[in-house]
Amino acid sequence: LTGEFQAWHPDGKTWLGGRYARGLKQGPWVQWDVSGRKVAEGDYRDGRVVSGAPVGVAAKCERVEP
């Protein structure tokens, strides 16, 4: 999987977004709660957080599109 990634909460609001390269998170990733408030922001290199917080953990989404 390579390219932009976005997932949504069940109500259609954005849950998280970022980019994959060769199946690993790369660059900036952001996560929002159901009210639209940013709750996590991390910078990834080869799938590992290099700064900020892990993104995309302990939450549910209804639909996912690469």
Per-residue pLDDT tens for 5-24? 999 999 999 999 999 999 99
User: How many percent of the chain have pLDDT more than 70?
Assistant: 85
d(Cα 59, Cα 37) in Å, to the nearest integer?
14
Q: Look at the chain and count its residues.
A: 66
What pTM, to 2 d.p., does this model score? 0.81
d(Cα 13, Cα 61) in Å, to the nearest integer?
10
